[in-house]
Structure 1
Amino acid sequence: MSVLSGTTPVGEPPTGMPHPDGVLLDVRSLLNDEERASYDSIRKHLQSDVRHQSIDYWNREDFAFDLLPGLADLGLGELELTDTTWLYRGLVYAETARADVSLSALVGIHNELIVGMINQLGSEEQRRTWLPRLRRFEAIGAFALTEPDHGSDIAGGIQTTATRDGDEWVIRGSKRWIGAGTIADFALVWARDTEDHQFKAFIVETDRPGYTATKIRNKIGLRIMQNADIELDDVRVPAENHLPLAEDFASVNEMLRNSRVWVGWQAYGLQMAALDVARAYATEREQFSRPLAKFQLIQQAIAEIAGNAHATLGLMMQVAREQEAGTLQMMHAALGKSTGTRLTRESVAKARALLGGNGVTSDYEAGKLFCDAEILYTYEGTYEINSLIVGRAITGVSAFV
């Protein structure tokens, strides 16, 4: 079927088209043989079995549970636990975003924050209980940090409390914008210890009395991800649910940096999706008796989308090198996230405009990509906050307060 019908994924271009995957820089060759084979398998599956299928879930704001086994079979539930390069992991995150941003958000949070925290900061019993199921997406966790009145200033503004009561902790408070909050088996809840006033993290199973998650509806983007408002009304958890090494924010700083990095990779992947859509549409759609691709303004727009995407790729490749060298700082992550998402906004707008009226519906993907880009621009630290982190690194002056 033609891409113009709005019913066929556009990730695979017509036979014989140069640079069939849209990538002009040979970054794939930088992977080792095993990583390259795995990356190719993941990309093929995402384009054939996820990308087009995700559109209906996106339209309905439903979670795509039936797509998880395929992702698990390709190892996307255990990236944090494998001995692979940061470049490989970043490219996998990008390809997942190229297929669907919501599922890439789930994969990123799952690996960088949920699996990462339990593996690095949890007890042996916690690792034994949860990691085998998490590897296969047979269990889903939620990272519960942000609160209704504290987003960008959450590091100093946590109001959720945890009070020790014998062999239990009693947790009281509210969380907002928690990804997978309504479908998770447990939430990693950050709360302030009422005794020593330190931030601590707890595994809170979502079936415990007092835990209530309410889906945030009517989002313009990231519609497959089930974000939630969470109420913790004197929720009791056993003492062993406290992550023993999660005693303050410093303990999770590295993971938060890495989670910001994967948003930069998401930005690259979303721009490549926009390039896929624009190129496929331009080569098939005819106006004035010739393909749109024959018009100079159309080719310029496509070249600019490709330029933005590859500029983001180059930046993220250097960020991956910093990760490999152990020299990654928050300014690097913030630069990748802020620059990548700014360019993404521009790229998806160009793709949407190229499709004319057809660009405002999700049927042709451009409208879906356009809306999802707004979420990337805003979450994991807003564009403005990440820009201020970069500005502070350059000037030595903080503009936060």
Structure 2
Amino acid sequence: MLPLDVLDVAAALSASEQARLAEATAWLQERIRPASVGPWQRDEFPRDLIAELGERGYGNLRQSGSELFIGLLHAQIARADLSLSAFVGIHNELVVGMIEALGSPEQRDRLIPGLSRFTTLGAFALTEPEHGSDIAGGLATTARRDGDTWVISGAKRWIGAGTVADVVLVWARDEADGVIKAFIVEADRPGFTATRIEHKVGLRIMQNADLAFDDVRVPEANRLPGAHGFAAANRLLCDSRAWVGWQAVGAQLAAVDIARSHALDRRQFGRPLGAFQLVQASLAEMFGNLTLSLGMMTQIARTQAEGRLTMPQAALAKSTITRLTRESLSLGRNLLGGNGILSDHEMAKIFADVEVLHTYEGTYEINTLIVGRAATGISAFA
């Protein structure tokens, strides 16, 4: 029977990495996949599962192997559950990654050990209520220097893990020079509040939040010295957009797995569903989308390993692969019939989560226009 990894991309890993990936895949499928359905349905944050992921080192995967290994592991986490994958990935790429890349030695020593084990939880706060796609030029949250402290005022929106985070990495505009800078804000600081965003249809485990900063004071020691200007944030967002491509690969792995199992197990008109031409055509298209996506992300991983990844490349991967994933989940949901609209059967859960992938870490349209700007040399947006 056709394997999910049609091109055998994992063969490019070392023998040790292949063994580690196989072990991780088995654990994620046996432990995390079934355990995630209930919290997703209840819109709750499963601290017990987060603790188990932390014990396995998933709080800091950046140094755990080759770029391809890390990408394939992220895909397997997403295959088990996209919400938990979003938490793990954002924590790795935009929290741990930001402190490692832009923080001081003291900040790294103080925060990275706890973040790596998920005993400390972090959030990345850039997007604002009135500024999403135009955040580079429109960022309105301010920071004012007052002696040895900074006073932060403003609001952030759609901040992943915002209500459960112990520390929040906040981007704000310095009132003195207009430069965007970043600060570590502990959640117990006076003037800081986090309010969960309710009624999400996807990524329901991820606790997105509205954050408010009412003259929140932090010491100069909490300013990240490497965060000077939006270019620093853009570098992090480039890697993060590439990671979303791996998330989308993981969603497709899950969808193909579920759809094929259903097609073989479900019988209609005295035959398995998989015996009918239209069902086989849907499965073949889903396999095609998965293989195209996996091949593209394999090359992205090579480019990252060589330090050559650019924003247009990351944007192309994110927009293209989430589009293909959306197509595959539509096919998969349809193939399951009535069961395709029940989250108990998982396909509907993944279908809803993929709608979020299509929008976050830069909307599909913005990422498409980034590629269009690179292709023509003309910007369609400011």
Name the TM tier (shorter chain): over 0.9
Q: What CA distance in whole angstroms lies between the structure 2 residues aligned with 1:169 and 1:42? A: 43
- Quote the Cα distance in structure 1 between the aligned partners of 2:271 and 2:64: 50
Amino acid at match of 1:51: R
Amino acid at match of 2:10: R
Residue 83 (structure 1) shift: 5.3
Residue aligning to 1:90:
71
Query: Which amino acid in 2 is paired with 1:100?
Result: D
Q: Which runs of structure 2 are paired with 1:155-170 in the superposition (5 Å)? A: 155-170=136-151
Shift of 1:22: 2.0
- Distance in 1, matches of 2:16 and 2:230, equals 36
* TM-score (structure 2 length as normaliser): 0.98
Give the Cα–Cα distance (whole angstroms) in 1 for the partners of residues 18 and 192 of structure 2: 43
- Partner amino acid, structure 2, of 1:264: G
Which of 96, 106, 116 is residue 115 of structure 1 equivalent to? 96
SS at match of 1:173: strand
Structure 1 residue 251 displacement after superposition? 2.1
Distance (whole Å) between structure 1 residues aligned to residue 287 and residue 46 of structure 2: 30
Q: Which amino acid aligns with 2:53?
A: L
The CA deviation at 1:226 is: 0.2
Q: Is the 8 A contact 2:241 2:314 kept in 1?
A: yes
Aligned with 2:228: secondary structure? coil
Residue type at the aligned position of 2:49 = L
| Structure-2 residue corresponding to 1:47 | 29
Cα RMSD of the aligned pairs, angstroms, is 1.0
**Would the aligned equivalents of 2:326 and 2:355 in 1 still touch at CA under 8 Å?**
yes
The equivalent residue for 1:265 is 246
Could you tell me the TM-score, scaled by structure 1's length?
Answer: 0.93
Q: Which residue of the partner structure matches residue 15 of structure 2? A: 33
Instruction: List gaps (5 residues or longer) in structure 2.
Output: none
Task: Say if 2:64 and 2:70, in contact at 8 Å, map to a contact too.
Answer: no
Question: Cα deviation per residue 1:191-218 (whole Å; 9 max; x = unaligned)?
Answer: 0000011000000001111111000010
Please name the residue that 1:280 is paired with. Answer: 261
Indicate which of 140, 144, 150 corresponds to 2:125: 144
2:168 to 174, 179, 187: 187
The answer to whether the aligner puts 1:103 opposite 2:47 as a matched pair is: no
Q: Which amino acid aligns with 2:21?
A: Y
User: Residue 343 of structure 1 corresponds to which residue in structure 2?
Assistant: 324
Rounded Cα–Cα distance in structure 1 between residues aligned with 2:236 and 2:73? 18
Name 1:4's counterpart in structure 2: none
- Post-superposition CA distance 1:312-359 (Å, at most 9, x none): 111111111111122111011001000000001100000000011110
Answer yes or no: is 1:365 the counterpart of 2:346: yes
Q: Which AA in structure 2 matches 1:72?
A: G
2:59 maps to 1:70: no
Instruction: Specify the alignment match of 1:8 in structure 2.
Output: none
Write out per-residue CA displacement over residues 196-243 of structure 1, whole angstroms, 9 at most, x where no aligned residue: 110000000011111110000101100000000000011111110001
Task: Tell me if 1:229 matches 2:210.
Answer: yes
Write the distance in 1 (CA, Å) between the matches of 2:65 and 2:278.
42
Q: Work out the number of aligned pairs and report it.
A: 382
Mapped to 2, the partners of 1:234 and 1:253 lie a distance apart of: 26
- 5 Å-filtered alignment, 1:238-249, equals 238-249=219-230
**2:367 maps to amino acid:** N
Q: CA deviation at 1:73?
A: 3.0
Residue 289 of structure 2, aligned match among 308, 311, 315 = 308
Tell me which moved more, 199-208 or 242-251.
Answer: 242-251
Contact 1:42 1:74 in 2 (8 A): no
Distance 2:265 2:367 in 1: 39
1:52-101 Cα deviation digits (max 9, x unpaired): 11011100110111112322233211112x15211111111111111111
Quote the residue 2:233 is aligned against: 252
Is the contact between residue 249 and residue 293 of structure 2 (CA under 8 Å) also seen in structure 1? yes
Matching residue of 1:10 = none
Distance 1:252 1:147 in 2: 15
Question: Partner letter of residue 48 of structure 1?
Answer: E
**Identity over the aligned pairs, expressed in percent?**
58
Aligned with 2:34: secondary structure? coil
**Unaligned ranges ≥5, structure 1:** 1-17
Secondary structure, aligned partner of 1:53: helix
Q: State the Cα deviation string for residues 119-138 of structure 1 (Å, max 9, x = none).
A: 12111211111111111111
**Amino acid of the structure 2 residue aligned with 1:400:** F
Distance 1:274 1:37 in 2: 24
